[in-house]
A and B are shown apart, each in its own frame.
Chain A
Amino acid sequence: MVRIKYVERPQLTNRERILFLDFLKGMRITIKSFFRKTVTTYYPFEKITPPKRFRGTHAHRVKNGKEPPSFKVIEKFMDIKDGESRCVACYMCQQACPVPELFKIEAVQTPEGKKKVVRFDMNLLNCMYCGLCTEACPVDCLIMTDIYETASYHRAGCVTHIKDMSERAVDFDRRRYDEPDRIWIDNEERSKLWGQIKWS
């Protein structure tokens, strides 16, 4: 049986009905904001820096001595020079991706028996910028930067390759590596904004 709940309309008092007080209330609000300062950004002339955790265009961190221990373990099996992408072609990003076909990852074996990543393309037209790939990356290689202007004149321009990804990460780390990786400034600030979090 379908149950229907009838809700009474709020009854206006006679004063409100005759003088259109609700209209006047609304008009007071709009005239107040009319005299307030505008809150917009003049975009092409003025650009806001996104927070560090912003999920922008992807990038590859390079081998520069700041790798996590998981990379140190595998390092001697890999043919990676300093300043090159530290990708180990583990395909974890592709596994995590909701649209896995956007990755094109290829690796070959060098004559010395080491593994070399020769191709890491991402078709960002298919990407939804969910960030699951960066969380899956075991060597802290694949990251997302704060770059959000990704438009291009051709579809091919939206496919990003391993070279430009490592350049992008070098640039990003130079600008923002030392910035604290938090959306709040400190714990007091956080508890002010979000309230006390009780960890079980």
Chain B
Amino acid sequence: MELLGTVVVLTIKSLIFILGMFLGAAYLTLLERKFAGHVQQRPGPLHVGPHGFLQPIADALKVLTKEDLVPDSVDKFLFYLASLMAFVPAIMILAVVPFGDPFTIFGVEIKPYITDLNVGILLALAFGSISLYGVIFAGWASNSKYPMIGSLRKAAVLIGYEVALGFAIAGPIMMAGSFSLREIVEAQQNIWFIIPNILAFVVIIFCILAETGRTPFDVQEAEAELVGGYVTEYTGMKFGLFPLAEWYIATFVLSAITVILFFGGWNPLPLMGWLPIPAFVWFFIKVFLLFMFFLWVHWTLPRYRVDQITELAWKVMLPLALANILVVAVWIMIFG
């Protein structure tokens, strides 16, 4: 009986998270389009609803009702699988991301996370690596040159940055002494891990930009060179899933993980603890600010070449991440 209850609660919780993420991602597109518009001194979507507020819904309807073309010469199975492989791992990371402390409403204890695994961060990394397969499958199954080039570029970029990302995460883990994201947050009540881990933070910023395919690392898309990268042959909702997964869900979830690792998760901002703001609001404020930072970078910078990107990954970011481990080790030895 207890098992059944757990299963039901988990199912409901997962559904809420997934639906919330879908809706959130839809509105993140609106946020991005508004931001991009104002950066280029134009207003962005404006006419569907007040100030374009219903634009994501109109877009979703449009994408869903589009004709779903599958080219003749594609590998059908991989072609369908690829769009799911890109999308599902990105949303699976949500399973281990905690959004706040457990709190009680009407005598029921609600935990705002799906699971609290003791290897949560490793699972997040693993899912991040799996999404690479979606990209490679999409490029290979499309049977076309631009998707192929795009997916190979993305693979080269991802392989480089996954390594640096793994080493950069080691710093906060060493300080917290745990792989569980919740325990990492609880360890930051006095001082945020950004303080000794500044190098790792820089590395992680670059890794997230590279991993989610935002400029200056958007070589896999490179509108000017490859028609649309590995999404060239896709249409309709299958096409919609790639940018949704990559630009919005992955960026959002990785921002959340960065906030958890470096900015104290749902702990309030320094000197602002007296404000009557619930924990998960603090968390969302921080994630929002970080997401806006990524948008800001995206809509400012031009694109690196592929060789420059991999050079940066192996020659700069990896040594920086390793140096960070040394710095943190010394910090721990001095301050306990």
Give A contacts to B, CB under 8 Å: 23, 26-27, 29-31, 33-34, 36-40, 42
Residues from chain B with Cβ under 8 Å of A31 in the complex: 296
Report if A38-B42 is in contact (Cβ < 8 Å); known contacts: A23-B301, A26-B301: yes
Q: Once bound together, how far apart are the Cα atoms of A39 and B37, in whole Å?
A: 11
If A34-B35, A42-B46 touch, does A26 touch B40 (CB 8 Å cutoff)? Answer: no
Residues in chain B near residue A39, CB distance under 8 A:
41-42
Given that A34-B35, A42-B46 are contacting pairs, would A26 and B300 also be in contact in the complex, using a CB cutoff of 8 Å? yes
Contacts of B297 in A (CB 8 A): 23, 27
> Scoring B residues 296 to 314 as 1 if CB is less than 8 Å from chain A, else 0, what string do you get?
1101110000000000000
Contacts of B296 in A (CB 8 A): 27, 30-31
Known interface pairs A30-B300, A31-B296. Does A38 touch B35 (Cβ–Cβ under 8 Å)? no
Interface-centre pick from A23, A30, A38, A39 (highest chain B CB count, 10 A) = A30
Complex: A27 Cα to B216 Cα, angstroms: 12
Main secondary structure of the interface of A (DSSP, over half): helix
Cross-chain contact A40 with B42 (CB below 8 angstroms): yes
Chain A residues with Cβ under 8 A from B41's Cβ? 33, 36-40
Q: Which residues from chain A contact B43 at a C-beta distance below 8 Å?
A: 38, 40
Asked whether A27 lies within 8 Å of B300 as measured between CB atoms, the reply is yes
Complex Cα distance, B296 from A149, in Å, reads 37
Task: Name the CB-closest residue of A to B216.
Answer: A23
Q: What's the Cα separation between A30 and B215 when bound, in Å? A: 14
Closest 7 CB pairs between A and B?
Answer: A30-B300, A40-B42, A26-B300, A30-B39, A38-B43, A27-B300, A34-B38
- Give the complex CA separation of A26 and B215 in angstroms: 13
Asked whether, in the complex, the Cβ of B38 is within 8 Å of the Cβ of A38, the reply is yes
**CB proximity of B54 to chain A, nearest CB, Å:** 18
Q: Which residues on the B side are within 8 Å of A23 (C-beta)?
A: 297, 300-301
**Interface positions of B (Cβ within 8 A of A):** 35, 37-43, 46, 296-297, 299-301
Q: How far is the CA of A34 from the CA of B43 in the complex (A)?
A: 10
CA distance A34 to B42 in the complex (A): 9
11 more A-B residue pairs beyond the given contacts A26-B301, A42-B46, with a C-beta to C-beta distance below 8 A: A26-B300, A27-B297, A27-B300, A30-B39, A30-B296, A30-B299, A31-B296, A33-B40, A37-B41, A38-B38, A38-B43
Tell me which residues across on chain B come within 8 A of A33, comparing CB atoms.
Answer: 38-41
By beta carbon, the residue of chain A nearest B37 is: A38
Q: What's the Cα separation between A42 and B39 when bound, in Å?
A: 18
The distance in angstroms between the C-alpha atoms of A33 and B37, with both chains bound, is 10
For the complex formed, measure the closest distance between the CB of B38 and the CB atoms of chain A, giving whole angstroms: 5
Chain B residues positioned under 8 Å from A42 (CB to CB): 46
Smallest Cβ-Cβ distance to A24: which chain B residue: B300
Measured in the bound complex, the distance between the Cα atoms of B39 and A36 in whole Å is 9
- For residue B299, which residues in chain A have a CB less than 8 angstroms away from its CB? 30
The interface residues of chain B lying within 8 Å CB-to-CB of A40 are: 41-43
Closest residue on chain A to residue B296 by CB atoms: A27
**A29 CA to B300 CA in the complex, in Å?**
8
CA of A36 to CA of B35 in the docked complex: distance in angstroms? 12
The CA-CA distance from A27 to B300 in the complex, in Å, is 6
Closest partner residue, chain A, to B316 (CB atom): A17
Q: What are 16 contact pairs spanning A and B, CB under 8 A? A: A23-B297, A23-B300, A23-B301, A26-B300, A26-B301, A27-B296, A27-B300, A30-B39, A30-B300, A31-B296, A38-B41, A38-B42, A38-B43, A39-B42, A40-B42, A42-B46
A99 to B38, CA, bound (A): 42
CB distance from A64 to the nearest CB of B (A): 43
A36 to B42, CA, bound (A): 10
Q: How far is the CA of A88 from the CA of B113 in the complex (A)?
A: 83
Q: Which residues on A sit within 8 Å (CB–CB) of B46?
A: 42
A-chain residues with CB within 8 Å of residue B35 when the two chains form the complex = 34
Which residue from chain A places its CB closest to the CB of B297 in the assembled complex?
A27
B324 CB to nearest A CB, Å:
15
Please measure, in the bound complex, the distance between the C-alpha atom of A39 and the C-alpha atom of B39, giving whole angstroms: 11
Query: Which B residues touch A36, using CB under 8 A?
Result: 41
B172 CB to closest chain A CB, in angstroms? 23
A42 to B, closest residue via Cβ? B46
- B40 CB contacts on chain A under 8 angstroms: 33
User: How many angstroms between the C-alpha atoms of A37 and B37 in the bound complex?
Assistant: 11
Q: Which residue of B lies closest to A26 (CB)?
A: B300
Q: State how many angstroms separate the Cβ of A94 from the closest Cβ of chain B.
A: 42
A33 to chain B, nearest CB (A): 5
A118 and B116 alpha carbons, distance in the complex (Å): 86
Residue of A nearest to B43 (CB): A38
Give the chain A neighbours of B300 by CB distance below 8 A. Answer: 23, 26-27, 29-30
Measured CA separation A38–B299 after assembly (Å): 16
Closest residue on chain A to residue B302 by CB atoms: A26
| Complex Cα–Cα for A37 and B134 (A) | 41
What is the distance, in angstroms, from B148's C-beta to the closest C-beta of chain A? 30
Q: Which one of A33, A37, A40 has the highest number of Cβ atoms from chain B below 10 Å of its Cβ?
A: A40
Report how far A27 CA is from B299 CA in the complex, Å. Answer: 9
